[in-house]
């Protein structure tokens, strides 16, 4: 079964999305969360850290793959840096999704809990951005 990794600039957002996705999957898969960084004074601030992402990928890695859901652009850059540090055989099984963070994580968790493949889970998660939240009549 694949694993999911949530990467956000904010620790609380990463943990919150992880909690929501885990509840939707009813504990059927491993989900990690990496968010925020700590400044030189030990204070948590917004940001992403490739070494934290790398550690999470190593912990979550499975031969079935790891789907990584990110919030903003530099989260992608930090994740790409972390992936470069993974051995090739592990890197090949990791995929950064274009899915929206919250909706994509929920859909991915449900799909992954059914034992779907990395590609199938990512496809479903990326389609989450097309679900209308509020029905609207044509204007």
124 — alpha (psi -120 to 50), left (phi > 0) or beta?
Answer: alpha
Nearest partner of 61 among 2, 120, 118, judged by Cα: 2
Integer-rounded Cα radius of gyration of the chain: 15
Cβ neighbours of 108 (radius 10 Å): 31
Question: Of the listed 2, 3, 9, 78, which one is catalytic?
Answer: 9
- Is residue 9 part of the annotated active site? The answer reads yes
**Do 79 and 96 contact (CB within 8 A), yes or no?**
yes
Residue in the block written with tokens 């079964």:
1
The set of catalytic residues is 9
């Amino acid at each position: 079964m694949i694993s999911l990794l949530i990467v956000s600039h904010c620790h609380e957002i990463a943990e919150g999305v992880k909690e929501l996705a885990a509840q939707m999957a009813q504990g059927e898969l491993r989900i990690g969360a990496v968010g925020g960084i700590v400044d030189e004074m030990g204070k948590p601030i917004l940001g992403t850290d490739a070494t934290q992402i790398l550690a999470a990928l190593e912990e979550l890695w499975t031969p079935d793959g790891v789907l990584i859901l990110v919030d903003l652009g530099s989260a992608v850059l930090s994740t790409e840096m972390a992936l470069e540090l993974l051995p090739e055989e592990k890197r090949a099984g990791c995929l950064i999704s274009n899915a929206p963070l919250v909706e994509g994580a929920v859909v991915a968790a449900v799909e992954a809990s059914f034992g779907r493949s990395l590609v199938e889970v990512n496809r479903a998660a990326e389609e989450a951005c097309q679900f209308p939240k509020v029905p609207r009549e044509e204007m």
